[in-house]
Structure 1
Amino acid sequence: MLGISAFDEGVYRALLTHASRDVTALSNVLESTPARVTHALRRLAALGLARRAERGRWEATGPRSTLTALLNKRRAETVSAFSEAEAAVDDLHTMYRLGRLQKNPGDLVEVHTGKEAVARRVAELSASLSTHLWILDRPPYLDRTNGQPHDGSTETAITRAWLARGVDIRSIYCPDSMAYPGRFETVLKLTALGEQSRMLPRLPFKLHIIDRRTAIMPLTGGVYDSIAVVHGSGLLDALVELFEAYWSKAEPLVGEGRLPSDVPAFEDRPSDADVMLLRMLHHGLKDQAIARQLGVSTRTATRRVAALMDRLGAQTRFQAGASARERGWLEL
């Protein structure tokens, strides 16, 4: 019980059921020696579970308050021990990596080829994720069915689980990230869950940084069938700094503020579809990409864009974005 020996627990239970007994009486109940019972009582007293009463008798303290306090203490010790063990694992892994690198500097970068090998290594690294996941998101993508990625349900579930564990997830997207229908909507859901999401007009390559200790990069631009896994090194430091530089330039996917009080009220409020369309326009998606997200033809997407611009009294997409911000539509 909470790190107490079986015998000491038996003495405590005897005190609970045979209140205010002396050592001799307790030793008879427990069929043990007075000396052994005395040592147990002293250990229980040190834990706050027993106290000496008058005339050499002993009594138990209330279990709810004392055992709860002991439980909290054990819980804190467990957390501390876990943190120390985790730090020890990191130290041992660092020693292992340094030893391997002295023997073979090529171990700084792993190269994996073949879809099965790539999927297996990515799964292993994802399972080890604990603190950070920083992403430059663009094709190619790993999960495909008949040449197309899966829907966003699995990605959403995994992201929710990581966020619940306190993982710092930051993703930078670009118009090329919206490579299949519904991707923009999925990204908005991830943002609502707590992912920090930003956009840039273009990204140079795909990148995953895991716990700031490992990076994954595809080696080809078309199919996710070969990757480089970069471990702690000057190269990894450069990739981390590169991500941070892009992050500072990128624009939040969704406005962080609310509609300011001094913005004039407009009776004509946007629908959810209007807001999504405006966000896609704002972040540089062309009509063909918008059509893919909406699951309509390019001609239909062009008509919807034109209708929305006409509604905003805008001659260009830039004017449409400016007018939408003025109305507070992009902050909804």
Structure 2
Amino acid sequence: MYRCLLDRGRAVPAEIANSLGVSETDVLRSASRLRELGLLHGSAGTSFQATNPEGVLLPLLARRKFEVESTLAAACTEIDRIAEHYRAGRLRSDPHRLIEVLSDRELIRERVDRLSNSATSHMWALDRATLHRQARR
């Protein structure tokens, strides 16, 4: 419907319905949603006109992006909480299995980044290769 109005400029609901092959009720329902989003001017008793997409769509996308990023951040926080709960359970049930050995450089980098981002107080790490090199000098 929005694209139809972009092509036509102004149109009444009956013209839009005829052009799209849908009912006038469907046009009015779509028009209501498009008005909520700021993409449409006019009312059912008059004609409709599309709003300039540059002025409306970019802020709308920015708002959606913020919503997605907020949801993702909340999900990551919850994953960190669940992982902490998991580690605490492992520590209680089998403390010897709590040690994680990583040998791939990229995997180590990713794991350190993830731990750094989720640390709330302190983070300690031992790098055997560095200690081994210093001892050999």
| Bucket of the pairwise TM-score, normalised by the shorter protein | 0.7 to 0.9
Partner SS state of residue 216, structure 1: coil
1:262-298 per-position Cα deviation (integer Å, ceiling 9, x unaligned): xxxxxxxxxxxxxxxxxxxxxxxxxxxxxxxxxxxxx
Per the TM alignment, residue 125 of structure 1 is displaced from its structure 2 partner at its CA by 2.8
Percent identity at matched positions?
25
Match of 1:85 in 2: 75
Distance 1:14 1:220 in 2: 66
Question: Are residues 221 and 50 of structure 1, via their aligned partners in 2, closer, same or farther at CA, if it must alter by over 3 Å?
Answer: closer
2:13–2:44 Cα contact (<8 Å) kept: no
* Partner AA of 2:99 in structure 1: V
Q: By how many angstroms is 1:16 displaced?
A: 0.9
Question: Are 1:35 and 2:25 counterparts?
Answer: yes
Q: Does 1:125 pair with 2:35?
A: no
Asked whether the equivalents of residues 20 and 53 of structure 1 are also in contact (C-alpha less than 8 Å), the reply is no
Displacement of 1:79: 1.5
TM-score between both structures, scaled by the size of structure 1: 0.35
1:52–1:221 Cα change, 3 Å: closer
3-state DSSP class of the match of 1:15? helix
Unaligned runs of 5+ in 1: 1-10, 113-117, 133-166, 168-208, 224-332
The number of aligned residues is 131
User: Equivalents in 1 of 2:97, 2:89: separation in Å?
Assistant: 10
User: For the residues of structure 2 that align with 1:75 and 1:26, how far apart are their CA atoms?
Assistant: 31
Secondary structure of 1:43's counterpart equals helix
Report the TM-score, using the length of structure 2 for normalisation.
Answer: 0.78
RMSD of Structure 2 on Structure 1 (CA): 3.0
Corresponding residue for residue 88 of structure 2: 98
User: Shift of the alpha carbon at 1:78?
Assistant: 1.9
Q: Trace 1:217-236 onto structure 2 (pairs within 5 A).
A: 217-218=127-128, 221-222=131-132
C-alpha deviation, 1:23, in angstroms: 1.1
Equivalent residue for 2:49?
59
The structure with the larger Rg is 1
Read off the aligned partner of 2:46 and give its amino acid letter.
Answer: G
| C-alpha separation in 2, matches of 1:130 and 1:40 | 44
Shift in Å, 1:24 = 1.1
Aligned match of 1:216:
126
Give the structure with the higher percent helix.
2
Shift of 1:14: 0.7
- Shift >6 Å, 4+ stretches: none
